[in-house]
Structure 1
Amino acid sequence: MVRAANKRPTIAIIGAGFSGVLTALHLLSNSDTDSRILLVEKARGFGKGVAYSTRHGAHLLNVRAGNMSAFPDRPGHFIEWVRENQVPMYPGDGNGFVSRADYGRYLQELLAQAATGPGALGRLVLVADDGVSLLPQPGANGFSLITGVGRTYAVDAVVLAVGNFPPDPPPGVAASLLRSPKFHTDPWATGALDRVQTDDPVLLLGTSLTMVDVAISLTDRGHQGPIMALSRRGLLPRRHADPGRPTPPTLPTLSPSLSASLHAVRAAVRAANGAGGGWHEVIDSLRAGTAKYWQNLPAETRQRFVRHLRPWWDVHRHRLAPTIAGRVQEMADQQRLSVVAGRILDLDSDGTSLVLRYRRRGHAHNETAHFAHAINCVGPGGDIARTQDPLLRCLLDQGFAVPDPLRLGLDTDGAGRLRAADGKIVPGLYAVGPIMKGTSWEITAVPDIRQQAKLLATTISEEICSRC
Structure 2
Amino acid sequence: MIGAGFSGVMTALHLLRQPSPVKVVLVERRAPIGLGAAYATDDPAHRLNVRAGNMSAWPDRPDDFVDWLAGRGREVGSGGFATRGDYGRYLQGLLTALAEGPAAVGRLVITPDEITAITRAGQGWTLTCGMGRAFEADAVVLALGNPPPRPPEAIGADLAGSSAYVADPWRWDPAALPPGEGPILLLGTGLTMIDAALSLARTAPGRPLIALSRRGLTPREHQGAPPSPLPDPPSPSLTPVGALAWLRTATERHGWRTAIDALRPATQALWRGWSVRQRGAFLRHARAFWDVHRHRLSPQVAEQAARMRASGELRILAGNLRRADLLEDRTVDVAWRPRGTRETRRLRADLIVNCTGPSADVERSVEPLIASLAGQGLIRADPLRLGLDVGAGHRVLDVQGRAHPTLLAVGPITRGALWEINAVPDIRVQAAEAAAQILRALAPRRA
Measure, in 2, the Cα distance between the counterparts of 1:223 and 1:375: 17
Does the 8 A contact of 2:236 with 2:273 survive in 1?
A: no
Please say if 1:334 is aligned against 2:311. Answer: yes
Please say if 1:120 is aligned against 2:98. Answer: no
1:260 is matched with which residue?
242
Alpha carbons of structure 1 residues 374 and 344: separation in structure 2 relative to 1, 3 Å: same
Does the 8 A contact of 2:156 with 2:324 survive in 1?
A: yes
Shift of 1:363: 2.6
Please say if 1:108 is aligned against 2:92. Answer: yes
TM-score normalised by the chain length of structure 2:
0.96
1:233 is matched with which residue?
215
Q: Where do 5+ consecutive residues of structure 1 fail to align? A: 1-12, 273-277
Matches within 5 A, 1:276-295: 278-295=255-272
Amino acid in structure 2 at the alignment position of 1:424: R
1:333-379: CA deviation from partner (whole Å, max 9, x where unpaired): 10111111111111112323211111111233221111111111111
Measure, in 2, the Cα distance between the counterparts of 1:414 and 1:81: 34
Alpha carbons of structure 1 residues 177 and 454: separation in structure 2 relative to 1, 3 Å: same
Amino acid in structure 1 at the alignment position of 2:7: S
1:37 is matched with which residue?
24
Matches within 5 A, 1:16-27: 16-27=4-15
1:403 is matched with which residue?
381
Please say if 1:199 is aligned against 2:181. Answer: yes
1:396-420: CA deviation from partner (whole Å, max 9, x where unpaired): 1111111111111111113210111
Quick one: percent identity of the two aligned structures? 42
2:170 is matched with which residue?
188
Amino acid in structure 1 at the alignment position of 2:6: F
Measure, in 2, the Cα distance between the counterparts of 1:326 and 1:179: 35
Measure, in 2, the Cα distance between the counterparts of 1:193 and 1:319: 26
| 2:343 paired residue among 365, 370, 373 | 365
SS where residue 119 of structure 1 aligns? helix
Alpha carbons of structure 1 residues 202 and 28: separation in structure 2 relative to 1, 3 Å: same
Q: Where do 5+ consecutive residues of structure 2 fail to align? A: none
Does the 8 A contact of 2:237 with 2:273 survive in 1?
A: no
Matches within 5 A, 1:209-248: 209-245=191-227
Measure, in 2, the Cα distance between the counterparts of 1:199 and 1:176: 22
SS where residue 442 of structure 2 aligns? helix
| 1:375 paired residue among 353, 357, 366 | 353
Shift of 1:244: 4.5
Measure, in 2, the Cα distance between the counterparts of 1:250 and 1:271: 13
RMSD after superposition: 1.7
Please say if 1:415 is aligned against 2:403. Answer: no
| 1:454 paired residue among 422, 426, 432 | 432
Runs of 4+ in structure 1 off by over 3 angstroms are 190-193, 244-257
Does the 8 A contact of 2:387 with 2:413 survive in 1?
A: yes
Does the 8 A contact of 1:198 with 1:223 survive in 2?
A: no
Amino acid in structure 2 at the alignment position of 1:57: P
Bigger Cα displacement from structure 2, 145-154 vs 434-443: 145-154
SS where residue 61 of structure 1 aligns? coil
1:171 is matched with which residue?
153
SS where residue 369 of structure 1 aligns? strand
Alpha carbons of structure 1 residues 108 and 204: separation in structure 2 relative to 1, 3 Å: same
Please say if 1:48 is aligned against 2:25. Answer: no
